[in-house]
Every structure is written in structure tokens, then in C-alpha cells.
A and B are shown apart, each in its own frame.
Chain A
Amino acid sequence: MALSLFTAEAPGLPARLLALREPETGALTFPRSAFGCTTTGRPAAALEPVALSGRATVLACITLHQPVLPGLAPPVRLAELRLAEGPVVQGVIEGAGGDLPPGSAVQAVMAADGVSCLFRPVPPA
């Protein structure tokens, strides 16, 4: 069974992403797995669990216009994100609207289905 990606108290609330950290180098593995560190190759047993903030910055954001995947109904916004702690991931942006410009801040939140994780735009301070 797959390890969960995140933890959150309820749908719509901020999510913390569950990762593994290599204690000597600090290298992060996300998503966490039983296979080992994706940077150093150390076995998972040697890694320590860590909860990431869920904060991220948009590197690029697009709208998918065609139904190329089951369960991903267009239009849907997808983004390449750099998590605050470093790893780069692809995420689904919550809601409708235009593509987010690079540098936009987003926060991981639990989706309404209680299972998946979306990224919510954070208004500029």
C-alpha cells in the first residue's frame, strides 16, 4: 500500500507534505518511499521522517485543455513547483482562473475529497 503524501486536519486546510531526510546530507526524498534516498541511495531505514511546510513557489503553470487522463477533467491548472524546502514537484492548482505567473506563492491544502492534495494560491502579502 502506498504511503500517504501529506497530513492535514480537514479538507480545505493546509497540508504538510511527508518526506524523508537523509540525516548526514539533509537530502530530501519526496514522496517518501520504502526504496531509499533518491539523492544518496541510502536505504529508507537510515532516513528520518520529516513533514514539509507545504509552501511552494510556482516555476511554471499551464492549463490542460484536453481530457488526456482519466479523472483529470479539463480545464485544469497544473504547475511545476519548488517546495520551500527544495524539492521540485508537479502539483494541481486549486480552482479555476488564469495560469499563475512564475514566483507565485502557493500552499498545499487537502482537497474536498479528503484524499488528494491541491495547491492554493497565496495572495501577495
Chain B
Amino acid sequence: MRGLRPVRVVGIGMHRYQFASETPFPAIGLAALRAALDDAGLAWPAVTSACIGTATLGMAAGRVMLRHMGSTGLEVTQVENASASGSSAFRLACLQVASGQHEVVLALGVDKHGGAQRAAERDGLPRLSPAADLPLVQFALLARAWRESHGVTLADMARVAVKNHGNAARNPFAQFRKPRTLEQVLASAPVAGDLTALQCCPRGEGAAAVIVASEDSIARFGLERRRAIRVLSSHASSDHSGAETAFGVVETVRRSGAATLAAAGIGPQDLDIVELHDAFSIEEIIYAEALGLCPPGAGPARLRDGSWEIGGGRCAVNPSGGLIGMGHPLGPTGIGQVAEIVRQLRGEAEGRQQPGARTALAHMIGLGFVAVGHVLQRENAA
């Protein structure tokens, strides 16, 4: 965002992530949208562009949903980028404000379970393994390799799930609301390799909305500046050659994280909160190390000593409950990360507040792999 206009998040709204239901997606998405407008203190006509992150709904989900708010003629763009769909929609919204194209922009993620198709299954190329493009198998293989090469234990992996289920239990928007013990995580059904069921994110449905605004619009609409959270950086990338497997995603995350933090002018030591892609428990350990939250190989120790717990150390990792606990409905996930961070940086995360949180990173990966990172910062006292 360097060299562009400042962008701030002025409104957040969620529809709880949940298992598949008969509820139509507009009801889910509009609940999040109306909550975000209320949170910001804005009327719908102030929003002149909407970036809709969805991976399962099909064409034109934005218009199908937003016409129920009244057709104001706003720009509507649908963004699909696998697990990073919401993050990419948020990035587009930020860039639209930063570039001066718009003053107030909505980023909204909404999805229902069951409609996702992987383009990799339609590229006309055969695979040696029918599971070659299945994230569950890719990350189970990565987990096994990491265990063998880095000494990560089954209990280390399970501690990620214990922490994140515990955080989710305190998050009213989370799909899972039940704390789990180490024994429960380890004893849950084996799924693939060393991953048990409670170490895998649930799929489901939900919605997350955030509204970003320019300096001028915050003044013009009389928005509450104290609650506006600055977006310091936005960065997106994809794999480099040779990194297209889950084994290569580690380098992709390392580069993406470094670039996102550098663009914000900060280092990993400045982060009070990180929300990251923990679809499978091993990912949190690997990515937290790749993002520089600890020296390589020190992740398990951080989990054991509680450093990544809320209030337990320097940086809370996935205080929302992460994908494992909060859920991973795809389109909403990345925007839900931002909503959680904004809530935390405002000091409004009741029951799961990271004390004194000022600076946070939202980081997502998506199939392929793509990576999207954002740094957000509170500019004044909470």
C-alpha cells in the first residue's frame, strides 16, 4: 500500500460458520453485510463497490445477493482464489480504495458447502495418484516428512488443535465451540497419515464482511476513527518454479510473509496476532516458523510453553480458533481472519482478547498454491 492512499477497516460483520444447512446463501451473506454496516455506522448507498469472495456458489453470486439491499448501481466483482478467495477479495477492496477508484468498499465472503470444483481435475492431464490434488493428502504427506526431518511429534501437532479448538470455544462465530484435550485430539478418528479428525478443519458454510474506507470518507460520514483499523500492507503471490507441491508451499509462505511484513515496514517480532491457514494442524507449526514467529524448529516448543496462546506470550496465533476451530467455508475464511483481527485490535474480542494487541498479520494460502497476506495495525490507544 506504500505510495497509495491510506485504507482503514471501518466495519466488520459475521454470520457464524456452521455445518451445511438449508439456509440460502443470501440470508447468510446479508446477515454479515448488515452487521458490518451497523458496526461501521454506514448506510448501504455509501458503499460504491463490492468484492465478493466465493469458491462454491457459481456465477454472479454478488448481484443475486446484493439486489436485496436495493440496487444502487455499485460496482460488483466476484473473486475466486480457492481458500484465499476472501483474502483476495479483501485485497481488491483495499486496492480500490488505496488507488482512489472508490471511497467505501465492501469485501464479503460467502459460501455454501458442496459446490466447489477443482480446476486441476479438468486440465486434461492424468495423475499418477488420484489424490495428487487433494489438500488432505498433500498435507498429511508434508506432516509425515516434517515429523521425520524436524522431529515434530504427534503431540506437537495435536497441541495446535487443542489451542485452536480452545480459542474457537470462546468465539461465537466459530463452527466448533468445544474445547478439546490432547488425549481427545490424538484419539479422534485417523484420517490420513498422522492427521486425526480433530486436526482437520471442518467444511461448512458462513459469511464474513468487512468495509474499508478512505481518510476522506471517514471524515465525510463521521465514522468512529478510534475503531478504524489501518491496513498497512497487502501482498499476493504464487509458487515459484519447483514449489508446486505441498512441500514447496513452505517456501511460498516464507517469501509471502517476508514480503507482506516488509511492505508494512515491520518484522515478525512486531506482531501481536497472526491468523494463518491451519486447515491441517501441521500447517500452523510450519507456517508460523516460515513467517518468522520463531526460529526454524522452535514451533513445537512455542506450543508447549503457551507462547502462541491468547495472553500467553508475545504473539497469539489463530485467536479466532483458526480454520481448525472456527471453520473454513472457503470464501469467508480470509475475510473472517480480518474481521477477527479488527475485533482484536479494537479491544473488542470479548472472552478471547489478546492483551494490548496493536499489530496483526492475516495470511492465507490457496490451492495451487497462492499466498495472500495483510498487515493491520491499530493507530491509537484501545
Q: Is A65 a contact of B192 with CB atoms below 8 Å?
A: yes
Q: Check: B145 CB closer than 8 A to any chain A CB.
A: yes
Q: Is A60 a contact of B148 with CB atoms below 8 Å?
A: yes
Q: Check: A89 CB closer than 8 A to any chain B CB.
A: yes
Partner among B125, B141, B142 whose Cβ is within 8 Å of the Cβ of A79: B141
A8-34 residues at the B interface, CB under 8 angstroms: 17, 31, 33
Bound CA–CA A80/B149 (angstroms): 14
Q: Is B128 a contact of A91 with CB atoms below 8 Å?
A: yes
- Please name all residues of chain A whose beta carbon is closer than 8 Å to the beta carbon of B130 when the two chains form the complex: 69, 71-72, 92
Greatest chain A CB density within 10 A among B128, B140, B191 is at B128
Bin chain A's interface residue count: 20 to 34
- Please name all residues of chain B whose beta carbon is closer than 8 Å to the beta carbon of A69 when the two chains form the complex: 130-131, 134
- Please name all residues of chain B whose beta carbon is closer than 8 Å to the beta carbon of A90 when the two chains form the complex: 127-129, 131-132, 137-138, 141, 245
Known: A39-B242, A80-B245, A90-B137. A63 touches B126 (CB 8 A): no
Q: Is A89 a contact of B144 with CB atoms below 8 Å?
A: no
Known: A60-B148, A65-B191. A78 touches B129 (CB 8 A): yes
Count of A-B contacts judged by CB separation below 8 Å: 102
Known: A60-B142, A64-B192. A88 touches B129 (CB 8 A): no
- Please name all residues of chain A whose beta carbon is closer than 8 Å to the beta carbon of B193 when the two chains form the complex: 62-64, 99
Q: Is B134 a contact of A68 with CB atoms below 8 Å?
A: yes
- Please name all residues of chain B whose beta carbon is closer than 8 Å to the beta carbon of A65 when the two chains form the complex: 189-192
Q: Check: B156 CB closer than 8 A to any chain A CB.
A: no
Q: Check: B222 CB closer than 8 A to any chain A CB.
A: no
B202-238 residues at the A interface, CB under 8 angstroms: none
Write the residues of chain B forming the contact surface with A, with a CB cutoff of 8 angstroms: 124-132, 134, 136-138, 140-145, 148-149, 189-194, 241-242, 244-245, 247
